[in-house]
Amino acid sequence: SKSISNLELIFSLAGCSDRREQMGETARKTLASTDFAALQRTLEERRLLPLIGSRVLALAPEEVPSSFQASVTAARARARTYGLGIDLATRQITTSLAAAGIDALPLKGPLLALTAHGDIGLRETADIDLLVSEPQLDAAVRSLIDQGFEPPPGWLRNGRLPDLHWTVQREGVPRVDVHWRVHWYETRF
C-alpha cells in the first residue's frame, strides 16, 4: 500500500473536494501511521491547523488521538474569535474609507474563509488586507493616518508605489495592508 509524507498529506487535504476524494484512501492509510504531534507542529507552523486538522478529523476520526482533536478544536475557536474581531475592524475601516470617498475591497481574511469554507474558524487571519485603486492609494493611507494609524516606513517617497501595499499599524487594531495590486506583475485595479 502506498504511503505519503505529511507534506503530501497536507497538500492532498488542502485541495478541492475532488482531489481530497481521489486521495482519500491513501490519506487514510497514511494517517494510520502518522506522528500526530509532528503533523500538528507542521500545520501550526503553516497556520493550517484549523482547516487541514478539521479535514483530518473528518477523513479518519478513528485514527486521530484526542490530543490532536482537542488542538484542532481549540485552534478553530481561536481563529473564529480572532476572525470575528478582524471582520469587525475591516468593516469599520472600509466604512470610514467609503465615507472619505475611497472604495476599498477586503481581501483574504474572514470574508475568504466564510466564502470558501463556510466558517471563519477554518482560516487563521493575522491582519487586514484591503485593495484600493492606484489613484486612491495615498488618500487611503492618509485617511488611516488621520484615524491614528502610524505612517508606513517609506511612504510618500517621491511618488513611488510600494511593490504591493503600504502597511499601517495602530495599537489595539490588527495591522492593515493597503494594496494597490494583488500580485507583483499586475498593474491594473
Over its length of 189 residues, how does the chain's per-residue pLDDT go in tens digits? 455 688 888 988 988 888 888 888 888 888 888 999 999 999 999 999 999 999 999 999 999 999 999 999 999 999 999 999 999 999 999 999 999 999 999 998 888 888 888 899 999 988 999 999 999 999 999 999 999 999 998 887 666 888 899 999 999 999 999 999 988 777 766
Name the 3-class secondary structure at 176: strand
Residue of 61, 52, 68, 64 whose CA lies nearest to 20 = 52
Q: What is the pLDDT of residue 7?
A: 86
Q: What is the pLDDT of residue 24?
A: 83
Q: Which three cell numbers stand for residue 29?
A: 492509510
The residues near 173 (Cβ < 8 Å, ≥ 6 apart) are 89, 149
Euclidean distance between CA atoms 96 and 102, whole angstroms: 9
Q: What is the pLDDT of residue 87?
A: 94
Residue of 152, 163, 178, 188 whose CA lies nearest to 90 = 178
For the entire predicted model, the pTM comes to: 0.82
Q: What is the pLDDT of residue 15?
A: 84
Name the 3-class secondary structure at 174: strand
Q: Which three cell numbers stand for residue 21?
A: 476524494
Euclidean distance between CA atoms 81 and 39, whole angstroms: 24
Q: What is the pLDDT of residue 157?
A: 63
Q: What is the pLDDT of residue 138?
A: 93
Q: Which three cell numbers stand for residue 47?
A: 497556520
Euclidean distance between CA atoms 27 and 19, whole angstroms: 11
Residue 71 and residue 49 in contact, taking contact as beta carbons nearer than 8 Å: yes
